[in-house]
Amino acid sequence: MDLSNRTVLIVGGTSGIGRELAGRFTAAGSTVAVGGRSPEALSELAGEGFGTFGVDVTDSASVASFRDAVLARYPELDTVVTMSGVMLLEDLRDPAHFEAAETTIDTNLLGTIRAIDAFTPHLIRRGAGTFVTVTSGIAFLPFPPMPSYAASKAAVHAYSEALRAQLDGTGVGVVELVPPAVATAGQEKVNPHALPLDDFATEVMDLLSENPTPHEILVKGVLMHRWAERDGTYDDLVARRSQALAMLPGREG
């Protein structure tokens, strides 16, 4: 993918990975707009020259007006990154976890579907474009303290595969970004060994610029998760990652 002349929308670009990639796409020469809920972050980003749009991906009406505003300002939009996501810990022994499960599925899975549905007709009409969906190494190798998160990301992986097949022949491609643990504010509490954001973004931009763009953007640090089942390391790695259950409040491990 030529990253020097695209018009990119990052849904969930107000912090973390999305915000970093917004800067990287701009540095590569593309025009970038970002969406998210935080008014403070949106106003900072507007000050940095990004197109900014408020959106809550859990709210269909909000996504519809967001789409209208984005396409009015960027009729040439050709790349939509569905980055919005929450990463919540859940203790499945406590039924009170359900609220976190609902938020997770509504944001990570249904939010992704809402954002994709909003822009699919536009990209098909253009006859060219790319959706970049965002899953996680955890889609392929569960991290037991975040069960609904793992389920949401495995679902977005499956959805991305089906979307790619359904859009075949329209000129619209689907690329799945599969981050390992990356040191953003959302991750610091969970994983002190997370990959530095800067290094991650550099590897991502290199992989995205390959021609043809790979269907999955797999930085080196995520290969052990992505291929654990194939490599026969899955059971051992899940057992090791289960030790992290000790981080749940009230658990000894």
Binding site for ligand NAP (CB under 6 A): 12-18, 36-38, 41, 55-58, 83-87, 107, 111, 134, 136, 179, 181-182, 184-187, 194
Q: 157 by DSSP, 3-state: which?
A: helix
Question: For ligand NAP, which residue has the nearest CB?
Answer: 16
| Nearer residue to ligand NAP within complex by CB, 96 or 185 | 185
Cα separations (Å) of 189 from 64, 138, 179, 180, 183?
34, 16, 17, 15, 10
Measured CA to CA, the distance from residue 172 to residue 95 in angstroms comes to: 41
Tell me how far, at minimum, the Cβ of 23 lies from ligand NAP, in Å. Answer: 13
Tell me how far, at minimum, the Cβ of 141 lies from ligand NAP, in Å. Answer: 12
| Nearer residue to ligand NAP within complex by CB, 31 or 184 | 184
| Nearer residue to ligand NAP within complex by CB, 40 or 252 | 40
| Nearer residue to ligand NAP within complex by CB, 2 or 99 | 99
Cα separations (Å) of 143 from 89, 121, 158?
10, 35, 18
For the CA atoms of 20, 4, 157, 83, what is the dihedral angle to 10 degrees?
30
Q: Is 149 a catalytic residue?
A: yes
Tell me how far, at minimum, the Cβ of 182 lies from ligand NAP, in Å. Answer: 4
Cα separations (Å) of 191 from 61, 108, 170, 187, 239?
35, 20, 40, 6, 17
Measured CA to CA, the distance from residue 146 to residue 142 in angstroms comes to: 8
Tokens, residue 189: 């509490």
Tell me how far, at minimum, the Cβ of 99 lies from ligand NAP, in Å. Answer: 14
Residues known to be catalytic:
149
